[in-house]
């Protein structure tokens, strides 16, 4: 890293002097030489991680330049990018903090400040924030998407991350991609997990109950597969933590892995649960560890009352401050703490006599070069990786430009995947899911097999080649666009727009389903005909298992052959009705 | 709860409960199978054929429970209940299905008006529950989204 700690301190001092720092948030704490020295507040400290996607080692991760909000979400957190995000949260440009939270000057800032995350660094930071506050007054909560996203999590069926979260000291977690293993594997992993796995919105199906699922589920009478909530006595207070797993798991991911469980958002049941906890458990605060996604959490907080804090994930929004949502009984704080191990949320609460009297929140970016790695976690990571290093470390091709995914539409790494599918599978058109995980590779950096796995590693990686009509292609695009841009949050499913190769289109995010997508046009300029058939290649089918090679092998073959990770053309839609939307900056089309 | 869910479900499956029997075998349960209503291609015609009217009054005393998004369009759970007096029948319509009438439940006098079934939905559609009580029709509706799925992040 090109910047010393002293220079860093000076930089922070300068920004502070300029009067541009907010009184809350990470910057407020940074006016000392040490960015991780926090003033203690209150009597309960909640430490929050989410969506690390099994990234055990430090990574580069570029925040999005397109994260459009439509309907009531327009212009509100988390649908802010670039200067608009900095301005909203009062973050000074060209600072470490601006780099952490926005996509601005990404490459040069990434070279300056170095990688983010890594469990050994996170461990040091978590331990410090526990020790300086009083370990017995802290909880570490994990919002899920922890067991998936890397080569080692794939090979160990998520068990590598169970070991890593045990070493980290996670007290409570909930899940989403955890449910992409088989039911029995999930139950075995939970058994090996030292903390509690909570989910108030996952129920056993009646068919499964009839077949004998009652032998392992948490509560036969209510049908809860997992414990719905837990009461923790910390800092002299009783804190209820309720788990909310991703409600669309069986729609967004293969239902075949978890046939006996059913998911949804149950406002009425959650309200009953909160009311019962408040009536019977003598709690001082109610917290939800959620994998709804931020828009859904904000909506849920307005509909269900009595929750003090929602610690959220899924949508990978690194929000420097909580959104305060008013509801029938008061207000609820909604947080979201980004992804890939890049951030640690710190919520200090002043809690007594059944009431939260105040809070102080910081979202700390985990800059790996500013934190010494914890030796025993580092050893565990080495041990986990050891059997797979030759697979992970294969150098495929140097990156010709910054390679990333995150954003509503095609990122450069997505384009490489789409190009690989077309080339290797000899297809006219390709489709690739708009996941929000996947790390970043800087220009000139060698793309390794591990980077390809960061972008593609899931438990249903098989590719397909099939014919589709133009009408079928449009139907897919319309369906996914509605999952992203439906103004009613409960009708969204998270994730970004499906990535495409070999054609462009026009997209109006503000239109209704059936009318958002138009002018689908092949790269050769030919308009896609609704009735004509096209050869399409893709991967990650949720219905039935596809027959083709695993996606990472397709991409690796393509890169080995091409010898450079580059793109000739970015297939990204021309957008309508987004002028002035603060959720978009530097858009190429 | 002294009677476990599993026991209850077994009882229903073996035909031990009256409501369960009609849920599982709607065709057999009716003496007069209303063929024209169940085969009607649009909801208005189906309602007219089944209940003799094209419209029902929207009522807060009819509760329709269905998911916002179906996990599986082939088996969408739908529950209908009502606090109205003298309920005679409860029926479920899926507006955009090829045959919109999905089910009709006859509610004998003195029976709790609360039924649950699963319906098949080919695409996103409005789902309507119609309750016949005291000779009048009351309804509740909700749109259920059916998506091709995938692409979740």
DSSP calls for A85-113: HHHHHTPPTTSHHHHHH--TTHHHHHHHH
pLDDT for position B16: 35
Set out the domains of chain A in order of their start, with CATH numbers: 37-60+114-381 (3.60.21.10), 393-575 (3.90.780.10)
DSSP A137: G
By the CB < 8 Å criterion, does A479 face chain B?
Answer: yes
Q: If you search the block for the tokens 């070999």, which residue do you land on?
A: A502
In contact, A173 and A193? CB cutoff 8 Å: yes
pLDDT for position A301: 98
Q: Which chain B residues are within 8 Å of A256, Cβ to Cβ? A: none
Q: Which chain B residues are within 8 Å of A434, Cβ to Cβ? A: 151, 153
Residues 6+ apart with CB under 8 A from B7: none
pLDDT for position A214: 82
Task: Find the residue in B nearest to A473 (Cα).
Answer: B148
Select from A87, A43, A47, A79 the least CA-distant residue to A63: A79
By the CB < 8 Å criterion, does A263 face chain B?
Answer: yes
CA angle (B134, B135, B141) in 5-degree steps: 90
Q: What is the ipTM of this complex?
A: 0.87
* A403 or B149, greater pLDDT: A403
For residue A248, the distance in angstroms to the closest alpha carbon of chain B comes to: 7
CA distance B63 to B44: 21
Residues 6+ apart with CB under 8 A from A404: A62, A411, A412, A413, A438, A440, A441
Per-residue pLDDT of chain A (589 residues; tens, 9 = 90+): 344 443 443 333 333 333 333 334 444 444 446 889 999 999 999 999 999 999 999 999 999 999 999 999 999 999 999 999 999 999 999 999 999 999 999 999 999 999 999 999 999 999 999 999 999 999 999 999 999 999 999 999 999 999 999 999 999 999 999 999 999 999 999 999 999 999 999 999 988 998 888 889 999 999 999 999 999 999 999 999 999 999 999 999 999 999 999 999 999 999 999 999 999 999 999 999 999 999 999 999 999 999 999 999 999 999 999 999 999 989 999 999 999 999 999 999 999 999 999 999 999 999 999 999 999 999 999 999 999 999 999 999 999 999 999 999 999 999 999 999 999 999 999 999 999 999 999 999 999 999 999 999 999 999 999 999 999 999 999 999 999 999 999 999 878 999 999 999 999 999 999 999 999 999 999 999 999 999 999 999 998 899 999 999 999 999 999 999 999 999 999 999 999 999 999 998 7
In contact, A547 and A440? CB cutoff 8 Å: no
CA distance B108 to A513: 42
Pair of tokens at residue A242: 């309720």
Which of B4, B124, B147 faces A251 most closely, judged by CB atoms?
A: B147
By the CB < 8 Å criterion, does A435 face chain B?
Answer: yes
Contact state of B151 with A475 under an 8 Å Cβ cutoff: no
Cis peptide before A78 (omega within 30 of 0): yes
What pTM value is reported for the model? Answer: 0.91
CB-defined contacts A:B, below 8 A: 94
pLDDT for position B149: 77
pLDDT for position A8: 42
Strands A172-173 and A196-197: parallel
User: Count of residues for chain A?
Assistant: 589
Q: What is the dihedral of CA A147, A151, A156, A159, to 10 degrees?
A: -30
Q: What is the 3-state secondary structure (H, E, C) of A191-230?
A: HHCCCEEECCCEEECHHHHHCCHHHCCCCCCCCECCECEE
Window 62-81 of B, Cβ < 8 Å to A? 67-72
CA distance A133 to A287: 20
Position B21 pLDDT exceeds 50: no
Set out the domains of chain B in order of their start, with CATH numbers: 1-32 (no CATH), 34-144 (2.60.40.2470)
Which of A214, A436, A476 faces B148 most closely, judged by CB atoms?
A: A476
Task: Find the residue in B nearest to A209 (Cα).
Answer: B6
CA distance A241 to A231: 6
By the CB < 8 Å criterion, does B151 face chain A?
Answer: yes
By the CB < 8 Å criterion, does A179 face chain B?
Answer: no
Task: Find the residue in A nearest to B76 (Cα).
Answer: A262
For residue B153, the distance in angstroms to the closest alpha carbon of chain A comes to: 4
pLDDT for position B32: 63
pLDDT for position B5: 44
Which residues partner with A21 through β-bridges?
none
By the CB < 8 Å criterion, does B27 face chain A?
Answer: no
CA distance A494 to B69: 13
CA distance A368 to A103: 18
For residue A144, the distance in angstroms to the closest alpha carbon of chain B comes to: 12
pLDDT for position A18: 34
Preferred mutation among A206, A262, A457, A499 to probe B, highest tally of B CBs within 10 A:
A206
CA distance A167 to A376: 8
Pair of tokens at residue A51: 């969506």
CA distance A451 to A158: 18
pLDDT for position B33: 75
Where residue B148 falls among pLDDT bands split at 50, 70, 90? confident
Contact state of B148 with A479 under an 8 Å Cβ cutoff: yes
For residue B67, the distance in angstroms to the closest alpha carbon of chain A comes to: 8
What's chain B's Rg over C-alpha atoms?
A: 16
pLDDT for position A200: 98
């Amino acid at each position: 890293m090109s910047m010393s700690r002293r220079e860093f301190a000076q930089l922070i001092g300068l920004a502070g002097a300029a009067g541009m720092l907010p009184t809350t948030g990470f910057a407020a704490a940074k006016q000392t030489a040490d960015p991780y020295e926090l003033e203690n507040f209150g009597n309960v400290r909640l430490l929050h991680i989410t969506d690390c996607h099994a990234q055990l080692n430090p990574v580069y991760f570029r925040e999005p330049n397109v994260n459009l909000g439509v309907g009531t979400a327009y212009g509100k957190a988390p649908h802010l990018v670039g200067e608009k995000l900095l301005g909203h949260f009062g973050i000074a440009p060209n600072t470490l903090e601006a780099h952490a939270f926005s996509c601005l000057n990404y490459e040069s800032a990434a070279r300056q400040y170095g990688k983010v995350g890594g469990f050994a660094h996170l461990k040091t930071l978590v331990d410090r924030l526990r020790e300086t506050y009083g370990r017995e007054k802290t909880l570490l909560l994990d919002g899920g998407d922890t067991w998936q996203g890397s080569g080692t999590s794939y090979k160990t069926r998520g068990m590598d991350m169970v070991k890593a979260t045990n070493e980290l000291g996670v007290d409570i977690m909930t899940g989403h991609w955890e449910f992409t293993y088989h039911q029995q594997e999930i139950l075995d992993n939970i058994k090996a997990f030292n903390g509690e796995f909570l989910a108030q919105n996952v129920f056993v199906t009646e068919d499964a109950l009839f077949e004998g699922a009652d032998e392992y589920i948490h509560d036969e009478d209510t049908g809860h597969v997992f414990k719905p909530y837990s009461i923790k006595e910390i800092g002299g207070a009783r804190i209820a933590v309720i788990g909310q797993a991703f409600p669309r798991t069986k729609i967004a991911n293969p239902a075949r892995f978890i046939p006996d469980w059913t998911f949804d958002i149950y406002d009425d049941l959650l309200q009953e649960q909160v009311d019962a906890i408040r009536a019977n458990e003598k709690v001082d605060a109610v917290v939800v560890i959620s994998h709804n996604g931020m828009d859904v959490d904000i909506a849920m907080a307005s509909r269900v009352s009595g929750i003090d804090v929602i610690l959220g994930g899924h949508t990978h929004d690194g929000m420097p401050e909580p959104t305060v949502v008013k509801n029938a009984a008061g207000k609820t704080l909604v947080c979201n703490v980004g992804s890939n191990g890049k951030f640690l949320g710190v919520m200090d609460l002043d809690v007594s006599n059944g009431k939260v009297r105040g809070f102080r929140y910081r979202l700390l970016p985990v800059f790996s070069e500013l934190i010494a790695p914890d030796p025993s976690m580092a050893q565990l990571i080495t041990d986990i990786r050891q059997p797979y290093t030759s697979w992970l470390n294969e150098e495929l091709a140097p990156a010709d430009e910054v390679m990333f995914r995150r954003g509503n539409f095609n990122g450069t790494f997505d384009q490489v995947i789409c190009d690989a599918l077309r080339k290797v599978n000899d297809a006219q058109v390709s489709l690739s899911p708009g996941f929000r995980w996947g790390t970043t590779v800087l220009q000139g950096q060698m793309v390794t097999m591990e980077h390809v796995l960061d972008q593609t590693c899931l438990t249903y990686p098989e590719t397909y080649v099939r014919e589709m009509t133009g009408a079928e292609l449009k139907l897919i695009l319309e369906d996914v666009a509605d999952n992203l841009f439906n103004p009613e949050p409960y009708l969204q499913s998270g994730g970004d727009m499906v990535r495409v190769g070999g054609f462009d289109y026009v997209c109006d995010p503000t239109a209704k389903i059936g009318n958002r997508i138009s002018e689908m046009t092949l790269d050769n300029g030919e308009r896609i005909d609704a009735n004509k058939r096209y050869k399409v290649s893709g991967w990650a089918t949720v219905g039935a298992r596809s027959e083709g090679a695993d996606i990472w092998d397709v991409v690796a073959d393509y890169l080995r052959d091409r010898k450079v990770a580059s793109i000739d053309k970015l297939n990204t839609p021309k957008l309508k009705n987004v002028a002035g939307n603060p959720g978009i900056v530097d858009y190429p089309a | 709860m002294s009677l476990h869910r599993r026991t209850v479900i077994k009882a229903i499956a073996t035909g031990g409960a009256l409501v369960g029997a009609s849920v599982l075998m709607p065709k057999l349960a009716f003496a007069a199978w209303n063929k024209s209503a169940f085969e009607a291609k649009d909801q208005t015609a189906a309602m007219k054929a089944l209940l003799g009217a094209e419209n029902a009054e929207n009522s807060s005393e009819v509760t329709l429970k269905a998911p916002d998004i179906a996990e599986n369009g082939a088996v969408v759970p739908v529950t209908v209940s009502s606090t109205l007096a003298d309920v005679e029948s409860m029926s479920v319509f899926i507006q955009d299905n090829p045959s919109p009438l999905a089910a009709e439940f006859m509610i004998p006098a003195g029976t709790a008006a609360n039924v649950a079934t699963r319906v098949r939905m080919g695409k996103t559609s409005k789902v309507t529950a119609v309750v016949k009580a005291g000779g009048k029709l009351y309804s509740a509706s909700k749109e259920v989204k059916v998506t091709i799925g995938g692409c979740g992040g």
